[in-house]
Amino acid sequence: MDENAKTIRILCPKLVLSKTGIQWLIGSPFFTPLTVVSTLRCIHSDSSSPDYDTESDDLRTLLPKGFNVIGALIIKNSDLEKKNAGEAIDAARRLRKLLSGEAELRNTVTIGAVADSVTGDVQFFVSRSEKPADIETVDFVLYDDNPEKYVWERGCLIRCELPITLPFYYPVNNTSEAEKMYLHATEAVIAKFKDPQIVYMAETLTQASTESPQPVILRGKDLDFHMVLSDIKLVGEAAQDSDTTALSCAHFCSKSKSSTTVLSAENADTIQVSVLLNRSEKSPKSTVPIAKYCPASQEARLLIVDFKLQVLCYATKSLPLMYAISKLVFPGLVDQLNSLKKAILPNLFTQHPQLYPYHFSPPGVLHPVTVIYELSYGETELKQVDVRKSLHLRMGLPFDRPLLRIANALDLSTTKDGSRNNSSRKGSPLLKDVHFGIPSSGVSGGVVSLVQGSYEYYHYLQDGFDDSGWGCAYRSLQTIVSWFKLQHYTSIDVPSHREIQQSLVEIGDKDPSFIGSREWIGAIELSFVLDKLLGVSCKVLNVRSGAELPEKCRELALHFESQGTPIMIGGGVLAYTLLGIDYNEASGDCAFLILDPHYTGNDEHKKIVNGGWCGWKKAVDSKGRNFFLHDKFYNLLLPQRPDMV
């Protein structure tokens, strides 16, 4: 084995280790050999080994084509010997054989890693075969400093959406025969994907119309469905447009990107592939239409099954388009159709489950993943929650935030100018994360604790609504709700002043005359609204004067580190939004990061920061002045992050 084959490149931020068990190491045929892009935990196993059939079914759905299992990491208490590496290599090869077939294992190097569950130390081994004698120790392990660049500068996404309506007749008195006919009908659909007359039309999703290349047509008769992916010769970007079989995926990708573009799945070049069945070609024989009557030998009934396929694949930009379709899109469609077919079969004669695939790009996972959700269930119902919990467990995601809800799904649709759709209010979009780039607090040796995640800045006079002098707490509440919305804890719109008042009337806190009034609200009313609209509980801190606020710094820092939600501070008729604190526990010096809803100007970030409408306010400044008044009573509303997935 050459020296290059004994160097492991790690792209994932870290290897997520559990106490015991197996982690599948994920790579790509388009990366240099032995490059680990992510790890996925084995969650189906008995006392001795993984349940390979169930694991392969799960990963076949979860992993986009273009990523595969290249090894396994086995976690032991202390023993890092080769025999454990052999166990990991054997497990990875068995799983990959189920996922990709015997041909893809030919001349493939498999990684076997052994981790100490106590120290976290990991030892890597590699092997080209299942023979224990062929296992070799890895010489070097490289951790990439910019893994997003490695993945997304060289690669693109390919998306194929295909709704299928499958009608078939079955004998009423023979359900087992009906199931066979259903399976046969789906196999016939799969055969159509390779029909010589099938048409695959590829077009770009990510460029403006003036720059977009024309769609390209490839027919089934032009495609090679038998070539092994590792044997395909990559091509450059200079292939001529006239030869569609020589075009690479780069033909549909942006030639240059802005330096400010974030490299990620959300911003990746995306190729849209549509599937069409061409029946308009000239027939070699001239015939007249023929109607054939075939009477059924027994009573039959029509059954219609609907499938909604949406496949996402990853390819290097230098992969020929024809192979991107035959070796990525086609097997992706087949695997997803088989998954849906299997899920529908138990309910074939009853109400069919509403199954729909969604694609996600969870934080810390470099590649997208695909999940099929049953829309018959609400997202908060126990069955859906359990599905998401198992996915969080597999990918090592935290269990206290929703990362795989439908609202988190990748939006790969585009507007006419080629930009991805972004949610915004009516009119111009609101400013987000205004505190980015502000000057430091001036606290020497302090520890900064900040809001976690994005929020929108709501302030006086927005949307032409005059709430100057009374609406500051309403605006602070809107900013807090926007945080929950942007973190996907809710899909409701940020409520207007009237909707906030309506909520308080509906729970009996206010009289009907309150709706449409200009009355102030405080921390208690905000907690009522958050509970009613979002189901969010709140903690309220009472401070007798501004002089006592620094005494709450330790508790506020813990809030930002554990909950991460914005805080509303109310005192008298004034309300502010607290986004963080800078606190030196030894000296007691502290500063509060205030987002001021009393601002009445245009949404210009520079103007807001320079005017002090978002910035650090010291409890006592250098001139002895206090931002929070000594003689004023303050309430602090600390919204709690729901424990949910």
> Catalytic amino acids?
472, 596, 598
Question: For tokens 């007359």, what's the residue?
Answer: 197
End-to-end CA distance of the chain: 45
Q: How far apart are CA 258 and CA 480, in angstroms?
A: 32
Beta bridge partners, 542, equal 635
Which 3 state secondary structure label does DSSP give 142? strand
Contact 373, 355 (CB under 8 A): yes
115 phi/psi in degrees, rounded to 5 = -115, 145
Count, residues in the chain = 645
CA 622 to chain centroid, in Å, comes to 46
CA pseudo-torsion sign 382, 388, 393, 394: positive
Burial 399-437 (b: 16+ CB within 10 A, else e): eebbbbbbebbbebebeeebeeeeeeeeeeebbebbbee
Q: What is the CA radius of gyration of the chain?
A: 29
Alpha-carbon gap, residue 142 to 368, rounded angstroms = 23
For residue 238, the one-letter residue type is A
Distance CA 597, CA 568 (A): 11
Q: 3-state secondary structure string, 217-248? A: EEEHHHCCCCCCHHHCCCCCCCCCCCCHHHCE
Cα gap 273→251, rounded to integer Å: 14
* CA–CA gap between residue 366 and residue 314 (Å, rounded): 12
355 has which bridge partners? 374
Distance CA 198, CA 220 (A): 5
Residues whose CB falls within 8 Å of the CB of residue 439, separated by 6 or more in sequence, listed in order: 615, 616
Give 95: exposed, middle or buried? Use CB within 10 Å, 0-12, 13-18, 19+: buried
Alpha-helical segments (H) within 409-547: 472-486, 497-506, 523-534
639, two tokens: 């919204």
- In 47-206, where does DSSP find H-type helix? 52-62, 82-100, 147-152, 175-192
Asked if 117 and 77 count as a contact pair (C-beta separation under 8 A), the reply is yes
